[in-house]
A and B are shown apart, each in its own frame.
Chain A
Amino acid sequence: MSLRKYIIKRTLDSLITIFLVFMLNFFICYQNLSEARGLPESEQFTNYIRFVFFDRFGTLALPGSPNTLDYVFERLSYSLIILTVSAIFAILVGVASGALASFKRGSKTDFLFSAFFITLIMVPNWWSAFVLLATFTPPFPVGKWHSFEWINVPFLSDPVGKTRDFLWHTTLPMVCLTLSMVGVYFLVSRSCIAATFSEPYLITAKAKGLRRRSIIFRHAFRNAIVPIAAGAALIPVFLINASISVERVFSLKGIGDAIYHSLISESELPRVDVLPTLPAIFLLVSIITIAIQYALDLLNYQLDPRLGRSMTDGAGLTFSLKSRRWKSRKVRLKRFMSSFMKGSSGKLGLAIILTLIAFAAYRPSFHWQIQK
């Protein structure tokens, strides 16, 4: 399967998935709204289409808020940043410690790492959030994205100061989100590296007399990257659940808090009439997750030369016949980037991620709350 065919196929798949999510949203969320109750199904559906595409998910009973879609975008903006950063940290830390544990497999380090990360997986993240909150709150602030004096400063006038203030406020939630993800990634990378141990080229590497470190980090680890990258598709499922409890505990006004409050009212009772934020969040979060998975699939296609390319292509052959002398880290990074940028799939994946980040960073924050 060529690259173009692969992209077309994946795009079609994603569009069908989005359509199914659109239909599921109608049955799960929209039919529970007060404005939809009691109407016949056909009328409900035409109302639903108008509701999504023309009414921008209706209006909320909040002062200064024009429509639900803008409200959800504002809620998403900061949440996406902390979720992305903590996911990246979780991947880096998890993969690094997984590689280290498989390097020292069977030793005391391996056992301690495994016990620690399994504990992290199993401990509920609202629990660790509460413990972090109780331990570190006096130095760290809680409950806001920005300090009072920084709220109305535009980002571009003082990017460094605003970023520092933002980090100061979101360190604890990000640590907590990272802790809730890192254990899964540790186990994934550890088992993926272990799965390459039975491949014949590792026996070859051993027969050549290579050192253990070079066998594991250069031969086993590189080939384990492909399944590890594929496992990143599981991250959004975990992160959305984690963000609900973490944002509730740290009382941050993010997407998790919006999900909670679309189901539970301010007096901590379940809403009889759910808010129009419910279908909006459902649809937007699903579409973002599908986009992330789409980007990851294209990235995987770039990483794994076996995926869909025939062996007689010659591409793999020339790669293995190249003389592989030791190169400096800078040169290797350059080579990696150039091969990553070759073709359009890597660029496309990177572009989608950057677009999402830009989208997240662009939205101005919570103006309708401050202006009364």
Chain B
Amino acid sequence: MADPEVINPVLRNQPPSLEHLFGTDEYGRDVLSRTIWASRVSLLESLGALFVAILAGTAIGMISGYYRDQPVGYMLDRVTDVFLSVPVIFVIVFFPIETGSLKWILAVGLSTWAIMAKIVRSQVLVTREKTYIESAKALGASDSRIFLSYILPDVMGVIAANMVYIAGLVILIQTTLDFFGFKRFLWSKDPGLPPVTVAPTLSWGSILAYNMPTFLSLDTWWVVLPPLSCIVLLGLSLILVGNKVTELLNPHVRSAYELIGEI
């Protein structure tokens, strides 16, 4: 397979052939190997951000729902409201870690957790009133045991079912950052120095963004189709996984699917 970074000016904008399965881009680079190479950054950043968002959202949503009547829960709910209402892009751009994939994982994850926290909280508000929580409390179960063994299994189905919205938002933010080239700029904290410009990271979003002019003028569909279909397939797979997990974790929903089959 061709090197993703090697340019070949003779073979510019070649349509798919046996040698280059997805053709070449405007610099003669092999699109297939570039797409595969880009999936490393894209998957790491989007799935990592998704994981951070779900982890933070679940933890904060569960605590704020369970301790609804106490100041901790109330303030956590207000913090959730804050993150649900501020424009995400400001939080990401001024996130206090300097460089690297870790910055984008943490920044995107920690600015989109609020949706998941809201969803989890509304489920916990229902769950905490159920009788088995009460009996667990009567048996002397500690709070951590109630969280992990009684509430979390009930919440897992909701998390799996709503994972796809967070995934859509995370991938949208990732590709938008690629598109505007926010990732190329590293904001320097020293006001005297101008921002540092670095070469764009190779990701699906940046392949799409940087090949947009060629695609629109020369109609080189083979350059943009692979990264685009990768993004769509990532979403599709997350939805399928989410649906399956929901069915497995939630016998309630499973019986509902069977019932609607009969109706």
Interface check B44, CB cutoff 8 A? no
**Complex Cα–Cα for A230 and B193 (A):** 46
Contact B195 A122 (CB under 8 A): no
Of the residues B77, B164, B169, B195, contact of A269 by C-beta under 8 Å = B195
Interface check A278, CB cutoff 8 A? yes
Q: Cβ of A180: which chain B residues have Cβ within 8 Å of it?
A: 172
Interface check B34, CB cutoff 8 A? no
With A202-B263, A263-B93 as given contacts, are A293 and B81 in contact (CB-CB < 8 Å)? yes
Of the residues B89, B175, B185, B212, contact of A259 by C-beta under 8 Å = B89
Q: Cβ of A130: which chain B residues have Cβ within 8 Å of it?
A: 212, 216
**Complex Cα–Cα for A181 and B222 (A):** 27
Contact A281 B168 (CB under 8 A): no
Contact B86 A198 (CB under 8 A): no
Contact B232 A119 (CB under 8 A): yes
Contact A17 B85 (CB under 8 A): yes
Interface check A237, CB cutoff 8 A? yes
With A13-B78, A202-B263, A282-B90 as given contacts, are A124 and B232 in contact (CB-CB < 8 Å)? no
Contact B79 A118 (CB under 8 A): no
User: CB-defined interface of A104-120 with B at 8 Å, one 1/0 digit per residue?
Assistant: 01100000000100110
Q: Cβ of A216: which chain B residues have Cβ within 8 Å of it?
A: 263
Closest residue of A by beta carbon distance from B179: A126
Main secondary structure of the interface of B (DSSP, over half): helix
Interface check B252, CB cutoff 8 A? yes
**Complex Cα–Cα for A216 and B171 (A):** 33
**Complex Cα–Cα for A80 and B16 (A):** 44
With A20-B79, A202-B263, A212-B263 as given contacts, are A122 and B235 in contact (CB-CB < 8 Å)? yes
User: CB-defined interface of A265-294 with B at 8 Å, one 1/0 digit per residue?
Assistant: 000111011000010011001110110010
Contact A289 B172 (CB under 8 A): no
Of the residues A28, A105, A264, contact of B91 by C-beta under 8 Å = A28
| A-facing residues in B196-252 (Cβ within 8 Å) | 197, 205, 208-209, 212, 216, 228, 231-232, 234-236, 239, 252
Closest residue of B by beta carbon distance from A196: B256
- In the complex, identify which listed stretch (A50-58, A71-79, A240-248, A349-357) lies at the interface while the others stay far away: A240-248
Chain B residues in the interface with A (C-beta under 8 A)? 77-79, 81-82, 84-91, 93-94, 112, 114-115, 118, 122, 161, 164-165, 168-169, 171-173, 175-176, 179-182, 185, 187, 191, 193-195, 197, 205, 208-209, 212, 216, 228, 231-232, 234-236, 239, 252-253, 255-257, 259-263
